[in-house]
């Protein structure tokens, strides 16, 4: 395989999908050496079969708003690869959603799911519908209309969606209700469900907690821990909230959070009480982060990212490409020792280069945020055996999964000078398992 040629060909065949190209480039450039040690892979054109999704469903979603207007949105489900288990990956509702973004997410998800050690393939779906500013009734009608199309393509052993940006417990609940009605079956086809109807304890917390468990492992390699460390967090949604919660629990200090309008900087730290306020503001009132600055009298910077503030650790937890080369240089200049990604692909390729050249600890989302899908996998298991595990039991399993992922990254990513290249480690470890499964299953 020549990674550059494969990428050029994909760009020609699938133009106007820059995020998909970016994700493929990052993976291919790091697995090329390992791939080429196995000539049997190239004989069956494994690389193209791994980069191009198995199939993509694309559909129109029609719904009625509160004023009686008929509205249309696009809906998608990308089933990327099911070599090691049913397709599994979240659903994103955001105005920016398009096929290229979902293809990047489904591609990444395949390697991430492989890393978790659980039997899950990779998929992703979503719509350009934005729940922001919509009434509860509008969100419900949209979710129902979306599921009216999606239901025929998913199932407990086929494809198991979950939440992502714009899709939390409320949206999963509405989608599950419609799915159940259409199939006339109560199965665990969606994860992230409410506790009363098959959800798992710790699922809402899992991505944020998992990221911090992974960060702890990274810090250990340098004889450090979280106590007293100042952390920058972007976003204020599901991942950001529980990342902050775990940082506080372990004695760290969170000084920023953000949303798509801007960020707040609280030098005194966002303590438990202030975090409760953010959770209520975001999850209940669906307000803006600027309201935090008004309430607590701290700095609010409109239209900017938090990466210029001084800190020890950065935890990007909002969206893709939210941290560029300039931000990365600023973070390094300010003495940041670790960056661990709660979001998917938040750092641009240039930013990643800056982190790696500075030899700071840098964990890509594929490894660091795998806790979310891991507990989704545990939710599937609990649904299958029709039992619910305790909070402690799920948390212990999550911790051990994150530890294993860290070990896999160290195994495949340690460079001759001892620096751990977590990008390479995660990509090679995730890739090898999927590749071997595909080889064993023949040309399909």
Contact between 101 and ligand NDP per CB under 6 A: no
HSE (side-chain half, CA atoms, 13 Å) at 121: 23
Contact between 113 and ligand NDP per CB under 6 A: no
Name the minimum Å distance from CB 371 to ligand NDP. 8
Identify which of residues 150 and 345 has a Cβ nearer to ligand NDP in the complex: 345
Q: Can you tell me which of 97, 175, 202, 318 binds ligand NDP, judged by CB under 6 A?
A: 318
Q: Which of 46-54, 256-264, 291-299, 355-363 is the region at the interface with ligand NDP (rule: CB under 6 A)?
A: 256-264
**Active site annotation includes 124:** yes
Residues 157-176 touching ligand NDP, rule: CB under 6 A, are 163-166, 168
Contact between 319 and ligand NDP per CB under 6 A: yes
Between CA 341 and CA 142 the distance in angstroms is: 30
Q: Can you tell me which of 30, 344, 348, 382 binds ligand NDP, judged by CB under 6 A?
A: 344
Identify which of residues 128 and 164 has a Cβ nearer to ligand NDP in the complex: 164
DSSP 36-63: TT-HHHHHTTHHHHHHS-SEEEEEEEEE
Binding mask 374-413 vs ligand NDP (x if CB under 6 A, - otherwise)?
Answer: ----------------------------------------
Contact between 343 and ligand NDP per CB under 6 A: yes
Name the minimum Å distance from CB 334 to ligand NDP. 21
- Of 124, 134, 253, 424, which is the active-site residue? 124
Between CA 381 and CA 126 the distance in angstroms is: 24
Between CA 414 and CA 408 the distance in angstroms is: 10
Phi, psi of 234, rounded to the nearest 5 degrees = -105, 160
Are 240 and 318 in contact by the 8 Å Cβ rule? The answer is yes
Q: Can you tell me which of 306, 372, 413, 425 binds ligand NDP, judged by CB under 6 A?
A: 372
Closest by CA to 90, choosing from 120, 130, 59, 124, is 124
Contact between 324 and ligand NDP per CB under 6 A: no
Are 362 and 215 in contact by the 8 Å Cβ rule? The answer is no
Residue 163: C-alpha distances to residues 173, 216, 420 (Å): 10, 26, 31
Phi, psi of 340, rounded to the nearest 5 degrees = -130, 125
Q: Can you tell me which of 128, 159, 217, 259 binds ligand NDP, judged by CB under 6 A?
A: 259
Max Cα–Cα distance, the chain, nearest Å: 64
Are 335 and 310 in contact by the 8 Å Cβ rule? The answer is yes
Contact between 239 and ligand NDP per CB under 6 A: yes
Residues sharing a CB contact under 8 Å with residue 166, sequence separation 6 or more, in sequence order: 92, 93, 94, 129, 130, 131, 132
Residues with a catalytic annotation lie at 124
Binding residues vs ligand NDP (CB under 6 A): 94, 96, 132, 163-166, 168, 207, 235-240, 259-261, 317-319, 322, 342-344, 369, 372
């Amino acid at each position: 395989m020549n990674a550059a040629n494969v990428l050029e060909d994909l760009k020609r065949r699938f133009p106007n999908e820059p995020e998909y190209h970016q994700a493929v480039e990052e993976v291919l450039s790091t697995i090329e050496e390992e791939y080429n040690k196995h000539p049997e892979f190239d004989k069956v054109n494994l690389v193209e079969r791994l980069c191009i999704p198995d199939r993509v469903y694309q559909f129109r979603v029609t719904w009625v708003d509160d004023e009686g207007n008929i509205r249309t949105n696009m809906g998608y489900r990308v089933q990327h690869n099911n070599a090691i288990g049913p397709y599994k990956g979240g659903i994103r509702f955001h105005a920016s959603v398009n096929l290229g973004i979902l293809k990047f997410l489904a591609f990444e998800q395949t390697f991430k799911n492989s890393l978790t050690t659980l039997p899950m393939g990779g998929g992703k779906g979503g719509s350009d519908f934005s729940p922001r500013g919509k009434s509860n009734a509008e969100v419900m009608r949209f979710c129902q209309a979306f599921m009216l199309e999606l239901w025929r393509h998913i199932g407990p052993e086929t494809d198991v969606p979950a939440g992502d940006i714009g899709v939390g417990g409320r949206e999963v609940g509405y989608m599950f209700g419609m799915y159940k009605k259409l199939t006339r079956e109560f199965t665990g086809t969606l994860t992230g469900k409410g506790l009363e109807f098959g959800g798992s304890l710790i699922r809402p917390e899992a991505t944020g907690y998992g990221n911090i468990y992974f960060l702890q492992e990274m810090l250990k390699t340098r004889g450090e821990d979280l106590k007293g460390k100042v952390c920058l967090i972007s976003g204020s949604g599901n991942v950001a909230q529980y990342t902050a919660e775990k940082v506080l629990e372990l004695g760290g200090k969170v000084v920023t959070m953000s949303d798509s309008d801007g960020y707040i900087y609280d030098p005194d730290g966002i303590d438990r009480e202030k975090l409760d306020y953010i959770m209520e503001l975001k999850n209940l009132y669906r307000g803006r982060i600027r309201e935090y600055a008004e309430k607590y009298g701290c700095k609010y910077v409109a239209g900017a990212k938090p990466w210029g503030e001084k800190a020890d650790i950065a935890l990007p937890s909002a969206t893709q490409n939210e941290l560029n080369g300039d931000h990365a240089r600023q973070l390094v200049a300010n003495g940041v020792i670790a960056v661990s990604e709660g979001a998917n692909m938040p750092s641009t390729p240039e930013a990643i280069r800056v982190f790696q050249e500075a030899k700071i600890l840098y964990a890509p989302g594929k490894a660091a945020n795998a806790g979310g899908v891991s507990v989704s996998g545990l939710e599937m298991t609990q649904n299958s055996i029709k039992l619910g595990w305790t909070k402690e039991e799920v948390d212990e399993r999550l911790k051990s999964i994150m530890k294993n992922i860290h070990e896999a990254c160290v195994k495949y990513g340690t460079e001759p000078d001892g620096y751990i290249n977590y990008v390479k480690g995660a990509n090679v470890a995730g890739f090898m398992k999927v590749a071997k499964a595909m080889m064993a299953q023949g040309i399909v």
